[in-house]
Structure 1
Amino acid sequence: MTPFPRSLQATNFLAIAAIAAILVYWPLGCCMSIAQETSDPSKPTASPWSIEPQAGKLILKHRGVALTVFHYQDDQCLRPFFSNVRTLSGTQVTRNHPPIPGVDPDDHADMHCGIWLGFGDIDGHDFWRNKARIRHRRFLSEPTLEADRIGISSEDELIDPQGKSIGSLEQTYRLTRIDSGCLLVWQGVFKAGSEPLVFGDQEEMGLGVRVATSMTEKNGGRILSSDGKTGAKETWGKKAQWIDYSKTLDRKRTGILLMPDQNNLQSSWFHNRDYGLMVANYFGNQAFTGGKPSVIRIEPNRSMTLRYGIYWYESAVEEDLPIEKIRVAVESNR
Structure 2
Amino acid sequence: MKSALLALLLISPAFAADGFTTSAAGGKVTVTLDGKLFTEYRTDSKVPYCYPLMSASGAVLSRHWPMKNDVKEEEKDHPHHRSFWMSHGAVNGHDFWAWTTKESDPKIEHKGTRDVKDNAFTVDLAWTAAGKTHLTEERTYTFTKIDAETTEIDVTSKLTAADGDATFGDTKEGMFAIRVDRTLRQKGEQAKGHITDSEGRKDGEVWGKKSDWVAFDGPDEKGEPAVIAMFDHPSNLRHPTWWHARDYGLLAANPFGIHDFESKKDTHTGDHVLKKGETLVFRYGVVLHHGSLESAKLAERWASFSKPK
Say whether 1:68 aligns with 2:39.
Answer: yes
State whether residues 208 and 277 of structure 1, in contact with CA within 8 Å, keep that contact through their aligned partners in structure 2.
yes
The corresponding residue for 1:189 is: 158
The residue that corresponds to 1:225 in the other structure is 197
Q: Distance in 2 between matches of 1:174 and 1:289?
A: 33
Q: Which of 154, 157, 171 is equivalent to 1:202?
A: 171
Distance 1:45 1:290, change over 3 A: closer
- The CA deviation string for residues 61-88 of structure 1, in whole angstroms up to 9 with x for no partner, is 11112111111x21xx312211111112
Q: Which residue of 2 aligns with 1:132?
A: 106
Counterparts of 2:18 and 2:237 in 1: how far apart (Å)? 36
State the match for 2:225 in structure 1: 253
The one-letter amino acid paired with 2:120 is G
SS at match of 1:214: helix
Could you tell me how far apart the structure 1 residues matched to 2:306 and 2:50 are? Answer: 18
Distance 1:226 1:238, change over 3 A: same
Q: Which residue matches 1:285? A: 258
Equivalent residue for 1:304, pick from 269, 280, 291: 280
Give distance in 2, aligned partners of 1:304 and 1:68: 27
Deviation at 1:331, TM superposition (A): 4.2
Q: TM-score, structure 2 length as denominator?
A: 0.85
1:56 shift after superposition: 2.9
Q: 243, 255, 264: which one pairs with 2:236?
A: 264
Q: Which residue matches 2:73?
A: 103
Moved over 4 A (4+): 44-47, 249-252
- Residue type of the partner of 1:168? T
Q: Which residue of 1 aligns with 2:102?
A: none
Q: Say yes or no: does 1:321 pair with 2:290.
A: no
- Contact between 2:217 and 2:292, CA under 8 Å: does it hold in 1? no
**What amino acid is the match of 2:263?**
G
Alignment of 1:157 with 2:130, yes or no, is no
Change (3 A) 1:83 1:315: same
User: Are the equivalent residues in 1 in contact too, given 2:274–2:280 (CA < 8 A)?
Assistant: yes
Structure 2: gaps of 5 or more residues: 1-8, 100-104
Give the 3 Å change call, closer, same or farther, for CA 282–59 of structure 1 in structure 2.
Answer: same
Please list every run of 5 or more consecutive structure 1 residues that lacks an aligned counterpart in the other structure.
1-37
TM-score when scaled to structure 1? Answer: 0.79
Q: Alpha carbons of 1:299 and 1:215: their partners in 2 closer, same or farther (altered >3 Å)? A: same
* Identical-residue share of aligned pairs (%): 24
Q: CA deviation at 1:139?
A: 2.2
Provide, for residues 113-133 of structure 1, a one-character-per-residue CA deviation record: whole Å limited to 9, x for no partner: 111111000010111113311
The reply on whether 1:123 has 2:92 as its aligned counterpart is yes
How many aligned positions are there? 285
Aligned position for 2:19:
48
Q: CA deviation at 1:318?
A: 5.1
Q: CA deviation at 1:99?
A: 4.2
Amino acid at match of 2:76: D
CA RMSD of aligned residues (A): 2.4
- In the alignment, the residues of structure 2 paired with residue 46 and residue 272 of structure 1 have an alpha-carbon distance, to the nearest angstrom, of 35
CA change 1:81–1:327 in 2 (3 A) is farther
Q: Is the 8 A contact 2:233 2:305 kept in 1?
A: no
- Looking at structure 2, the residues matched to 165 and 78 of structure 1 have their Cα atoms a distance apart, in angstroms, of 14
Distance change in 2, residues 1:300/1:96 (3 Å)? same
Q: 2:295 aligns to what SS in structure 1? A: coil
- Equivalent pair of 1:118/1:206 in contact (CA under 8 Å): yes
Gap change, CA 1:315 and 1:84, over 3 Å in 2: same
- Letter paired with 2:247: D
Query: Within 2, Cα distance between the matches of 1:281 and 1:79?
Result: 17
- What is the match of residue 175 of structure 1? 143
Distance in 2 between residues matched to 1:186 and 1:311, nearest whole Å: 12
Q: Indicate the residue corresponding to 1:91 in structure 2.
A: 59
Give the aligned residue type for 1:295. Answer: D
Aligned partners of 2:27 and 2:112 also within 8 Å: no
Change in Cα spacing, 1:287 to 1:46, as seen in structure 2 (3 Å) is closer
User: Which structure exhibits the higher relative contact order, with contacts defined as CA atoms closer than 8 Å and separated by 6 or more residues?
Assistant: 2
Separation of aligned partners in 1, 2:153 and 2:22: 15
Distance in structure 2 (CA, Å) of the matches to 1:164 and 1:144: 32
Residue aligned with 1:217, SS: coil
Q: CA deviation at 1:329?
A: 3.0
